[in-house]
Structure 1
Amino acid sequence: MQIDTATNDGLLVVSPKGRLDSNTSPALETVLLDRISAGDTAISVDFSGVDYISSAGLRVLLMAAKRLGPAKGSITLHAMSPEIREVFEISGFLTILKVYPDLNAALAAR
């Protein structure tokens, strides 16, 4: 799994590419937790390059959101395919995490 990061107007954008499953989610976990430890409190994960997510990937996102809570930070998600969005909907994660159609919407919501 390739994971790119960039900062856009104070928002850390994390862009994983490929499958987000039990084999690859530890890499995303490392990136997110390292950046949170370094002080990043506004994070959005770009799902445009993710074609599959398992419960292991969902767990990583939930853990990052919980870590950001005490720092008054937030994690948002954007650019999901309909299939990925369905996984979030079925799992109930759409009530926990904010999801935006694209990066511009995520930036505007800040």
Structure 2
Amino acid sequence: MMGSRIRREKRTIARMIALYEQQCPQAISSPGHYQALNAYAEKRLDKCVFGEQKPACKQCPVHCYQPAKREEMKLIMRWAGPRMLWRHPVLTVLHLIDDRRPVPELPEKYRPKK
């Protein structure tokens, strides 16, 4: 079962991708690219090892995105982040609050064996 934190993260990422796709002049125009990227991000959130206690992605010790997709998401977030404050202020404030939370310990089953 998915909690409210993961649902909110999915909604925030979907809004950032949509904003970037609509407004950014360099946006990739291949059909379905951003829908596929959003589906990938949702799948990664569903499998997050931290679950509802997940830190902001930029602070996370586990990099679950493929390198190319991670760089693309960083670009989208860097561009859309400041613009989100005007378009989606509640999501932006909640995301900023989440960003200040401490990073939880990695669950036992994901820790490296000694």
TM-score (normalised: structure 1): 0.35
Higher strand share: 1
TM-score (normalised: structure 2): 0.35
Report the structure number with the largest CA radius of gyration: 2
Higher relative contact order (CA 8 A, sep 6+): 2
